[in-house]
Amino acid sequence: MLWGSGLVLLLTADKESFLARVFRGRGLRFLGKYSYGMYIIQSPLIPLLAGVWSVAGLTTLLGSGVLAGVSASLLYATVMFAISVLLAMLSWNVLERHCLKLKRWFP
């Protein structure tokens, strides 16, 4: 209900409202272009890097305590997000973009 209400609010908002400008922003369009690749890549990426890059390992490295745990979680999420975006961009430019050119042969 929450997301449906948000969608209705967005669709009925004035095109120059703050809400419309946020959802039309370059950042969201950029992430929308690569979002499927990020979704596919993150599933194998997490277990692949678990031995060398994990929240538990970062927490140990940063020390004990709540602040170290929060810092480790934020650092882990930021780095994994960046890796996912970079790999999705690579996948898009090396494979997907060229495969989409084949659409003209299949009406």
- 75 found inside a domain: yes
5/12 Cα distance (integer angstroms)? 11
13 Cβ contact list (under 8 Å, min separation 6): 19, 20
The pTM score is 0.75
Using CA atoms, how far residue 105 sits from 58, 94, 96, in Å, is 50, 20, 16
> Could you tell me the residue range of the domain that residue 74 belongs to?
26-105
Residues 6+ apart with CB under 8 A from 23: 10
Domain assignment present for residue 9? The answer is no
Proportion of the chain above pLDDT 70, given as a percent:
100
Residue 4, in any domain of the structure = no
On whether residue 51 sits in a domain, the answer given is yes
> Does residue 21 lie within any of the structural domains?
no
Q: Is the pLDDT of residue 86 over 90?
A: yes
